[in-house]
Amino acid sequence: MTELPKSTQKKLGLVIDLDTCVGCHACVISCKGWNTENYGAPLSDQDAYGADPSGTFLNRVHSYEIQPAEGAAQLIHFPKSCLHCEDAPCVTVCPTGASYKRTEDGIVLVNESDCIGCGLCAWACPYGAREMDQAAGVMKKCTLCVDRIYNDNLPEEDRIPVCVRTCPSGARHFGDLGDPDSAVSQLVKERGGVDLMPEQGTKPVNKYLPPRPKDRMPEIDVLAPFLAPVDQGAKGFLGWLDRTLDKL
């Protein structure tokens, strides 16, 4: 089972727009809420009201500060969850077959009833996408809301991962990245979507859209004609005003 499928019928995944993510953590908490109540064991919290609170989250928003060679520093919010890699190292290391990649859609899942909680899959994942639940003793990870996306009990428009549904700024997109004509594939193409840690050879399905160039407003030379004075001084201005009003 931990053998990866030779190919999958679809490559379902997320496209995350780093140009648009405002770092609000909406995806983090809605994920926590949904996955606490749904697939597998609830996402537990330890010392929840205490000195050292910590809990299982399948999606976390990092932030990075970038200092360009010239100009102001930038802050990029960076949501990160399982990338549902094509060559998922977390799957092949699993000794029990609990971790697997679905042939239908490429979603990487943990079958919790087979998980012995050895943690090796988390060791093998370069992205920190897997977290051992301290209460349940099993490995938790993003399921791409496999219990939503095909769920007949949900209205069709809601059959998307909960993080995508909730994202207020629309920075998260869901679709089939194996289909070059899908909206997400088109978006990746247009915006130059990238893989994280490509050198790890994991071939992530999820893509990240890089932030657009910032602080590039043309300085005054190009825009000068837009601000050419109409006349000098307040008096000249009123003369111009009168002339202009005549034309209205």
Rule CB under 8 A: which of 46-85 touch another protein? 46-57, 60-69, 72-78, 80
Q: Is residue 156 close enough to count as binding another protein by CB under 8 A?
A: no
The minimum distance between CB 91 and another protein, in angstroms, equals 8
- State both tokens at 18: 């780093």
The minimum distance between CB 199 and another protein, in angstroms, equals 4
The minimum distance between CB 14 and another protein, in angstroms, equals 15
- State both tokens at 184: 């997400």
User: For residue 41, what are the contacts with CB-CB under 8 A and spacing of at least 6?
Assistant: 112, 133, 135, 136, 138, 140
Which of 108, 140, 152, 149 lies closest to 35, judged by CA?
Answer: 140
Under rule CB under 8 A, which residues in 126-145 are in contact with another protein? 126-128, 131-139
Under rule CB under 8 A, which residues in 22-41 are in contact with another protein? 22-26, 28-30, 32-34, 36-38, 41
Q: How far is CA 159 from the centre of its chain?
A: 17
How many residues lie near another protein (CB under 8 A)? 150
Under rule CB under 8 A, which residues in 218-237 are in contact with another protein? 218-220, 223-224, 226-230, 233-234, 237
**Cβ-contact 196, 83 below 8 angstroms:** yes
Single residue of 151, 179, 186, 203 touching another protein by CB under 8 A:
151
The minimum distance between CB 48 and another protein, in angstroms, equals 4
User: Residue 213 carries which DSSP code?
Assistant: P
The minimum distance between CB 124 and another protein, in angstroms, equals 6
Which of 26, 35, 177, 184 lies closest to 107, judged by CA?
Answer: 177
The minimum distance between CB 66 and another protein, in angstroms, equals 5
Give the C-alpha separation, 167 to 149, whole Å.
16
Give the C-alpha separation, 103 to 106, whole Å.
6
Q: Site mask, another protein, residues 87-126, x = CB under 8 A?
A: --x-xxxxxxxx-x-xx-----x-x--xxxxxxx-xxxxx
User: For residue 55, what are the contacts with CB-CB under 8 A and spacing of at least 6?
Assistant: 32, 43, 44, 45, 46, 48
